[in-house]
């Protein structure tokens, strides 16, 4: 993105992180339906495919060797090891969408977000929080998908991840899902109206830099 005349606008990166159980995945799924110009980045991962997941849609599922080759080839904008598996965002995925003028939504962990903050400093970083840890535990137990020790690990991870929220641009407490979705919608709308993001287009229309 640039405010100089003659330079076309490029899409914005919206980076969303959250502890497990905060509703981030559902929020991300809903938000891309609201903004037709917003595309969700599909990450590469070494973890096994879960029932119902599709290769190339939920993730690109690759072998540890393929992932290591991509790291060596510097193909990733960021990558991290999360819960014993590797996850990464390909530079090509981001650049293809941005060059097409689309905004890109990335659902990535705090380590990946920290890497991107250094390289894509015009990205917008959003952290989703549970109302508190008691409610987080209640939600994780309510899902009925995780064994007690897995729930304890997720709570311990949340305690470690939540302090990282201070490095993000926006914080959304997901106390009520629709309200959280409204907040995320407002953030994306407001960011799109920033002068620096509007100028490249408006400059031509109104010949602003004559
Ligand atoms: P899951 O395996 O449950 O789909 O995702 C586990 C965690 O990995 C989530 O916190 C998710 O945000 C994170 N994640 C997914 N894709 C990426 C990625 O490309 N990079 C990083 N750093 N984290 C990712």
Model confidence pLDDT, tens digit, residues 81-107: 998 899 999 999 999 999 998 999 999
Residue 119 within any structural domain of the chain: yes
Residue 87 within any structural domain of the chain: no
pTM, two decimals, is 0.93
For residue 127, give the CATH number of its domain: 3.40.50.300
Q: Give residue 40 CA to ligand 1 midpoint distance, Å.
A: 13
Residue 85 within any structural domain of the chain: no
Cα dihedral across residues 7, 198, 118, 45: positive or negative? negative
Domains in the chain: how many in total? Answer: 1
Mind listing the pLDDT tens digit for each residue in 48-73? 999 999 999 999 999 999 999 999 99
Residue 148 within any structural domain of the chain: yes
- pLDDT (average), residues 149-166: 96
**Which positions ≥6 away from 9 have C-beta within 8 Å?**
1, 101, 197, 200, 201
Q: Which atom of ligand 1 is nearest to the CA of 111?
A: 22
Range of the domain at 22: 13-41+102-206
Alpha carbons 22 and 171: distance in angstroms, whole number: 12
CB under 6 Å to ligand 1: residues?
43, 47, 78, 80, 82, 87-89, 107-109, 111-112
Residue 86 within any structural domain of the chain: no
Q: Give residue 113 CA to ligand 1 midpoint distance, Å.
A: 11
Residue 19 within any structural domain of the chain: yes
Q: Are 168 and 162 in contact (CB under 8 A)?
A: no
- State yes or no: pLDDT of 144 exceeds 90: no
């Amino acid at each position: 993105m640039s405010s100089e005349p003659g330079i076309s606008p490029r899409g914005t990166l919206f980076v969303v992180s959250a502890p497990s159980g905060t509703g981030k995945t559902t929020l991300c799924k809903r938000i891309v339906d609201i903004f037709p110009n917003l595309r969700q980045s599909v990450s590469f991962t070494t973890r096994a495919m879960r029932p119902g997941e599709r290769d190339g849609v939920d993730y690109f599922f690759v072998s540890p060797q393929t992932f290591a080759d991509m790291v060596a080839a510097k193909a990733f904008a960021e990558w991290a090891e999360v819960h014993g598996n590797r996850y990464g965002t390909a530079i090509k995925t981001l650049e293809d969408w941005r060059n097409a003028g689309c905004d890109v939504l990335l659902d990535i962990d705090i380590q990946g977000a920290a890497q991107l903050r250094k390289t894509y400093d015009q990205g917008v970083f959003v952290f989703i929080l549970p109302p508190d840890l008691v409610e987080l535990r209640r939600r994780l137990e309510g899902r009925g998908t995780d064994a007690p020790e897995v729930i304890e690990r997720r709570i311990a991870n949340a305690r470690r991840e939540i302090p990282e929220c201070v490095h993000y641009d926006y914080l959304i407490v997901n106390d009520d899902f629709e309200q959280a979705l409204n907040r995320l919608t407002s953030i994306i709308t407001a960011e799109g109206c920033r002068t620096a993001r509007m100028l490249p287009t408006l400059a031509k229309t109104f010949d602003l830099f004559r």
